[in-house]
Amino acid sequence: MQYLYGPVKSRRLGVSLGISLTPYKTCDFDCIYCQLGKTTNLTAERKEYIEVNRIIGEFKTWLENNNEAAQGLGYITLSGSGEPTLNSGFGELISEIKKIASLKVAVLTNASLLSDPDIRRQLWQADLIVPSLDAVTQELFVKVDRPLAGIKIEDVINGLVALRKEFRGKIWLEVMLIKGINDDIRHIRKLKEVIERINPDKIQLNSPVRTTADAGVLPVAKTKLRKIKEILGEKVEVF
């Protein structure tokens, strides 16, 4: 399979079949914690990096050969080797998947393009959106996510707030915390204010455990994660 991977089992999504919509590694962020390594194509250009009909062709073949596995899938997950919403065909892909199979679709996104109403409209077809938000000040945003020049955290946050107002499915906000960088309690309190504006269904706290793009990216101690969980409130799950 070229564009599909898995099914993979995770605590977050159960059993899901992944779809990669971009070549390795096409993203408008270059997060210090990225498990895929350094961003080799740092871009905000939107185009059909991988043609939707190719992905759908592979998906149909997979379904024909994996009838039983398909029954056990929790989600079809759009993510992969970069930022899926950079593929200009991602909305069409979701609607095609929905036509072919009665399966739930999740989109994992860095939320960078959510200030665009058209991108949000295309996401409405998904069942679950898992956007990431690692920082709420521009300084920390640049430090952790290393976005393409010109991307403002305020626009990302406003896009998330707008998405919540429009989208009827679930939003599970993912926050990656890194020791000594974005885990300061003052930052966590600011994060809490922003999360209250966004009002996601769940907040998933993560801390890096695998190899990251940059060396020296360290996980937050479990005791501190528990304290942060208390501050952020009852919707929080720690992974």
Applying CB under 6 A, the residues found at the interface with ligand SF4 are 27, 29-31, 34, 36, 39, 82-83, 110
Is the Cβ of residue 69 or residue 142 nearer to ligand SF4 in the bound state? 142
Distances (CA, A) of 9 to 77, 104, 108, 168: 12, 15, 15, 26
Is the Cβ of residue 41 or residue 137 nearer to ligand SF4 in the bound state? 41
Beta carbon of residue 71, minimum distance to ligand SF4 (angstroms, whole number): 30
Beta carbon of residue 184, minimum distance to ligand SF4 (angstroms, whole number): 21
Beta carbon of residue 127, minimum distance to ligand SF4 (angstroms, whole number): 21
Beta carbon of residue 25, minimum distance to ligand SF4 (angstroms, whole number): 7
Is the Cβ of residue 37 or residue 180 nearer to ligand SF4 in the bound state? 37
Phi-psi region of 180 (alpha: psi -120 to 50; beta: other; left: phi over 0): left
Environment class of 186 (CB within 10 Å of its CB; exposed 0-12, middle 13-18, buried 19+): exposed
Is the Cβ of residue 7 or residue 84 nearer to ligand SF4 in the bound state? 84
Are 196 and 232 within 8 A, CB to CB?
Answer: no
Beta carbon of residue 168, minimum distance to ligand SF4 (angstroms, whole number): 25
Among candidate residues 21, 2, 18, the one with its CA nearest the CA of residue 10: 18
Is the Cβ of residue 77 or residue 110 nearer to ligand SF4 in the bound state? 110
Query: How many Å apart are CA 157 and CA 114, to the nearest integer?
Result: 9
Query: How many Å apart are CA 195 and CA 210, to the nearest integer?
Result: 26
Among candidate residues 152, 147, 213, 216, the one with its CA nearest the CA of residue 178: 216
